[in-house]
Amino acid sequence: MGYTDQVDTRKTYDPSSTDAWCKLTDLSKTVYEKDILEHFTDNPLRTSQYSISLNDLHIDYSKNLVSDEILAALNSLAETSPLAEVRDAMFSGTPINESEGRRVLHTALRNPDFPHGDIASSIASQFNRMTTIANEISVGDWKGCDGKRIRSVVNIGIGGSDLGPKMVCEALREFAQPDIDMHFISNVDGEPIRSLLKQLDPATTIFVVASKTFTTQETMVNAQVAIDWFSEKTGITEPLSTPHFLAVTAATNTAIERGIPADQILQFWDWVGGRYSLWSVIGLTICICIGQENFRKLLHGAREMDDHFLNAPLGKNLPVQLALLGIWYNNFLDIQSTAVIPYCERLGFLPAFLQQLDMESNGKRVSSHGVPLTYDSTPVTWGQTGTNGQHAFFQLLHQGTRFVPIDFIGVAKDQLSHGKQHRILLANMLAQAAALMSGEAADTADREYPGSRPSTTILLNELTPHSLGMLLALYEHKVFCQGVIWNINSFDQWGVELGKRLTSKVLHDQNRSDLDPSTRDLMDRLGF
């Protein structure tokens, strides 16, 4: 089947009309007749059969409310969907983002053998420029105006231009280059950047202004604050022309018009969505932080997951299985949210990163061809690090009226943690997953744990650039699989545009007649 044929298939594809969907609907009616623990009793091999290992990763999904029959039906749902065709089309460079007429090629950023020579050449060129700049900053060859080496790097961005780099730099701080402090500014709230600037020396600070369009309101406002501060502190009237400002954007001409020299601009492309952009030159701050060799290892880890996703059979394909579990809970058991709980403080920004990845990608109400969905798309993603979460919201997870499937993420070996403490940390993760599944009877209802609360455990042998790359690509492909099966476009985000337009109207348009009475009243109270 060619991609044109596949596109036509997607126009009429409706997962809810398939035999597999009907089968799963029937199975959902009796799923609670047997709790998860009973499945272990019935099948002593359940753990090994419901686990998959791939190099640095091990995933145990045996504590989920599924059976062989349910998994078989879920895999049938994947097999009868256009998943394989759309996956292959994405990797080959066919424009699968149809609403914007764009390719989806974040995977090409980590594939040195990508077959399209012009794209591969452009990627290599920008990657070489990025690593050169990062290395010059790291070793002290990139000097400020007065000849001092750079000691502070401030990334100014928002969304994908902030969440990915910030999350990776924090996760891999063990590998950070010495003597350079990394900072991230995103919120248009003025307090974070003004508080940060009080701590910085303009002579040793560089700002990385990261925006795909170079017009993003929050980024440009924060960038202007940095420009004004630098000018005030140094007396330099055109700060953007100095070595203290870099731009990372797809709109190079706009950056040049704003005053940034062409040789201080790194370019990425419209086929890289913001939430998938950390692998591109948006990762400049990552490259500065951990060095080019570790950045390459991050890419290599993601590439290994790419290869697995492309080649592993569906029943043993990690992203596919995680995606199908999510679909089971979302569409057949009416689960409203899913939690991600990393038992590793350095992965503290991972839940926020996955919120954007999942909800911006698949938070859609119409199909890829504009037809209203008759079934739910993605649930709410949320989370926090363990053990903090245990003392905040685990009461709901154990005894609440709704159950929430959980991804527990643990690191087997952690060189940065004291051995005894790390053992206690992992013991907490294992105990919570066991308690959620097993439950516990009690004499009074308020002390009873109902159990049969599902979870998946993802283990990294160590938290390294390679293993983190695998983990992030795993979730990218999971989200992709769900989008294809739900027949939605995971790569546009029209839902964020209306608020942006109305913000401009509130700020600049004197004609308020087409705004609602509540907004007009609040504007008056706030002095607009």
CATH of the domain at 317: 3.40.50.10490
Examine the pLDDT at 324 and tell me if it is beyond 50. yes
| Domain annotation covers residue 356 | yes
By the 8 A CB rule, do 214 and 286 touch? no
pLDDT score for 9 = 62
pTM reported for the whole predicted model: 0.96
Residue-averaged pLDDT of the chain: 95
* 67 and 166 assigned to the same domain: no
**8 pLDDT exceeds 80?**
no
Question: So what's the pLDDT on residue 7?
Answer: 52
Per residue in 506-516, pLDDT (tens digit) is: 999 888 888 99
pLDDT in tens, 58-95: 999 999 999 999 999 999 999 999 999 999 999 999 99
The answer to whether residues 58 and 118 belong to one domain is: no
Q: Is the link from the previous residue into 387 a cis peptide, with omega within 30 of 0? A: yes
* Annotated catalytic residue within 85, 170, 360, 476: 360
Mean pLDDT computed over 372-391: 98
| Distance (Å, whole) CA 44 – CA 80 | 31
User: Which pair of structure tokens corresponds to residue 100?
Assistant: 């914007």
Q: Is 136 a catalytic residue?
A: no
Question: Which residue, chain included where needed, has tokens 């502070």?
Answer: 152
Catalytic residue among 148, 316, 413, 500: 500
Note the pLDDT of residue 381.
98
Distance CA 518, CA 516 (A): 6
Q: What is the mean pLDDT of residues 125-140?
A: 97
Active-site annotation holds for 398: no
Known catalytic residue: 29? no
pLDDT bin (cut points 50, 70, 90) of residue 6 is very low
Annotated catalytic residue within 391, 420, 497, 508: 391
Question: Which residue has tokens 């599902």?
Answer: 454
Model pLDDT, residue 138: 95
Asked if residue 213 and residue 117 are part of one domain, the reply reads: yes
Q: Are residues 137 and 60 in the same domain?
A: no
- Parallel, antiparallel, or unpaired for β 181-185 and 152-156? parallel
Query: Does 468 lie in the same domain as 391?
Result: yes
What token pair was written down for 268? 């990425």
pLDDT at 509: 86
Report the number of distinct structural domains present in the chain: 3
- CA–CA dist 371, 487 (Å, integer): 10
In-domain check, residue 300: no
Same domain for 126 and 77 = no
Query: Nearest-CA neighbor of 327 among 71, 86, 87, 85?
Result: 71
Mean pLDDT to the nearest integer, 239-256? 97
The predicted pLDDT at position 511 comes to 86
**301 located within any domain:** no
Out of 246, 262, 295, a domain closes at 295
Residue written as tokens 């769900």?
A: 482
More confident residue, 114 or 457: 457
Residue 401 DSSP label:
S
Predicted local confidence at residue 154, as pLDDT? 98
280 and 177, same domain (yes or no):
yes
Cα–Cα distance measured from residue 414 to residue 344, given in angstroms and rounded to the nearest whole number: 9
DSSP state of 198: T
Half-sphere exposure of 52 (CA within 13 A, CB side): 18
Residue 201 Cα distances to 148, 151, 192, 207, angstroms: 11, 9, 16, 12
Within a domain: 302: no
**253 and 326 assigned to the same domain:** no
The per-residue pLDDT for range 156-205, each reduced to its tens digit, is 999 999 999 999 999 999 999 999 999 999 999 999 999 999 999 999 99
For residue 190, what are its two tokens? 């003025």
User: How much of the chain exceeds pLDDT 90, in percent?
Assistant: 92
Give the whole-angstrom CA distance, residue 44 versus residue 139: 56
Q: What is the pLDDT of residue 115?
A: 85
Based on the fold, state whether residues 64 and 209 are members of the same structural domain: no
Beta bridge mates, 383? 340
- Average confidence (pLDDT) over 247-259: 97
The band of 337, judged by pLDDT with boundaries at 50, 70 and 90, is very high
Phi/psi at 167 (5° precision)? -60, -45
Q: Which amino acid is at 509?
A: D
Whether 362 and 473 map to the same domain: the answer is yes
Is residue 405 within 8 A of residue 329, CB to CB? The reply is yes
The pLDDT of residue 482: 98
What's the number of CA atoms in the CB half-sphere (13 Å) around residue 454?
A: 28
Residues 128, 247, single domain; the answer is yes
Residues 488 and 517 grouped into a single domain: no
Residue 507 belongs to what domain range? Answer: 496-526
